Every structure is written in C-alpha cells, then in structure tokens.
Amino acid sequence: MKITNNTNLPQVFVDIAQEDYTYKKGEYSVTELLKGIREIRLTREHYHEIEKDVSTMSNLIFGNAVHHLLELKDKHNMTEKKLKAKVGDKWLKGRFDAYDSETYTLIDYKTASSYKIKKGMFEDWRKQGLMYAWLCKQNGIYVDKVQFIVMIKDWKARDEISPIYVYEFKVLTLDLREIEEWIKARFLLLDTDTPCTETERWTTPTKYAVMKNGGKRALKVYNNKEDCVGGDYIETRLGTDKKCESYCDVKQWCKYYKGEMETQHPTEISLKEAKKKLNENISFKEEKK
C-alpha cells in the first residue's frame, strides 16, 4: 500500500499510518479476520496497488496515538503482548494492549463514536476480545474477563454516557469453543470469493415512505413496497452500503460494488458449505438475517 502525504503533514503522521499495513502469507490478524471475506482477499491481492493519503486516516492515527500513550504509561500490567496460533494451514495472530495478571483481565483500548456506544454495537468487539482470549489460551495465558476501555471521540456533556466508557464481559468455556469454530470456518472461507455480508457493508436497507401530496413528512415508512397502504404516492428511499461507498480500499476491484451483484445470498450458502466441511454444528448467528 502506498501512503501519500499530499497535504505535507509531519512525517510522524505517515509513520503511524504505515504501522498497520504489513501482511505475511498465511498469517491473518484478529482485526483483519473481522472484515468481510472478499475485502480481506482483495486487499491482499491488490495491496501494492492501493493508495491512501494520510490526511484521510485521522481515525487510525488518533486511535494509534491513544494506544501508544496508554501503553507507555501503564506500569502495572503486561502490555503489547503478541501471540500466534496455528489453525489448519494458516496462522492467527493478535496483539492485545494489556493484561492484568491479578484479575486475569485482558484489556484493550479503543476510540469510538458516541453513536456506537449508545446503540450498543459491540458484536465486533466481543468477537475480537474472544479471539484474543482464545489466542491467550493457546499460549498458556488464562483469561477470565475481557475489558474494552473506550475513549469517546465526539462526547458531549448532554450525552447520557461517560466520556470514557467500559465494555466488558466474562469469558466462558462455551464462548471459547464457539469462537474457535468461527475462526476455523472463517479460514475455510478465505479460499473462496464470499461476498461481504450486509453487516460488513454497513448496509442501510431501502425503505418505502407513504406520502401525501404537499406533505413533507411520511405518513408511515415500510420495509417492503407491497406493504404500503394509504397516502397519495410512495417515495422510495434507496438504501446504502456505507462501508463500500466511503471506507473500503478495494471497492474498485469488487464485483458487488461495480454492480455485478449476486442474485442469491452466497454468504449464507458459503457458510453452510463451511459448516459441512467442518462437520460440526457451528453457530453463525451474526451472519443470519
């Protein structure tokens, strides 16, 4: 990946931005595995063709800066521990921020928007934390609890949440079993062209608003056009794939983004195939609609 600096920011910004962009064949990081399968594959295939300007990477730079400062000042816990474990013919690697050996708590620092916190959108963090806990188990480190300490970037005094939010959960044996099967299935799918799910594309579905002539507000909004009743006309409010449109580095090579959309829902089919290969009853609740 080529990181440009078209606005002539200090070199340290470029150096921080480049930290997260190194790939090794057969090795996948915890955070990488949380992305869509097609996004992972295309990123690796076109890595040297991708170009980003450092001025558009403020979220990554801010997040890395917070991480480095907290880890530097943490004198009480094990920090910046890198771990690896083999899964089939591939490797999963991860680096958690801190570990409290007295309470067996794995700690990860985050920056996030208040919207994510208010909506309780923690499923990706939970998966991330469980993958770290699973890696710890493979490397002889016991984890009883995962704790995410979150700096809210856009916090305002009127928000009904703390500017530093803590999201945590206990790690159960069943959780570790389920995340292990999820990891195995995910690695199987890496050899396929599985499209990103709606969740991974940050999809807002198309809605249908029943309107009155001369009115500005909808009488009612429906998910399906066939359900619409009353009013004078129906206004179609097209859905969007926010990740694809604004945050995907490989959209120019993606069949979905270019309009070559699959007629079925191949993600669900591919997951069933992965389950069959593993010959186990794996839970994929997060992928089902």
What is the residue-level pLDDT of the chain in tens, covering all 289 positions? 888 888 888 888 888 777 665 688 899 999 999 999 999 999 999 988 988 888 888 777 777 777 677 666 666 666 667 899 999 889 999 988 889 999 999 998 888 899 999 999 999 999 999 999 999 999 999 999 999 999 898 888 888 888 999 999 999 999 999 999 999 989 988 988 888 988 899 888 899 999 999 998 999 999 999 999 999 999 999 888 899 988 899 999 999 988 855 433 444 434 455 656 445 433 333 343 3
Q: Looking at the domain assignment, is residue 230 inside a domain?
A: yes
- HSE on the CB side for 131, CA within 13 Å? 30
Compute CA distances 187 → 86, 126, 182, 249, whole Å. 11, 19, 9, 21
Q: Looking at the domain assignment, is residue 176 inside a domain?
A: yes
Same domain, 163 and 282: yes
pLDDT the model gives residue 39 = 95
Measured from the Cβ of residue 56, the count of other Cβ atoms closer than 10 Å reads: 13
Q: Looking at the domain assignment, is residue 250 inside a domain?
A: no
Contact 42, 143 (CB under 8 A): no
Q: From CA 32, how far away is CA 34, in angstroms rounded?
A: 5
The tally of domains found in the chain comes to: 2
Contact 240, 204 (CB under 8 A): yes
> Which domain range does residue 140 map to?
58-195+262-287
65: domain CATH number is: 3.90.320
pLDDT the model gives residue 281 = 38
Single out the residue of 228, 47, 30, 63 nearest to residue 131, CA to CA: 30
Single out the residue of 20, 184, 23 nearest to residue 90, CA to CA: 184
Q: Looking at the domain assignment, is residue 255 inside a domain?
A: no
Q: Parallel, antiparallel, or unpaired for β 2-4 and 51-53?
A: parallel
Same domain, 168 and 77: yes
Residue 195 carries which DSSP code?
P
Q: Which helix (H) or strand (E) holds 182?
A: helix 173-189
Q: Which residues pair with 240 in a beta bridge?
A: 204
Q: Looking at the domain assignment, is residue 17 inside a domain?
A: no
CB-based contacts of 54: which residues, under 8 Å, 6+ apart? 3, 4, 5, 7, 9, 13, 14, 17, 61
CB-based contacts of 77: which residues, under 8 Å, 6+ apart? 98, 99, 100, 101, 107
CA 2 distance to own-chain centroid: 22
Same domain, 141 and 269: yes
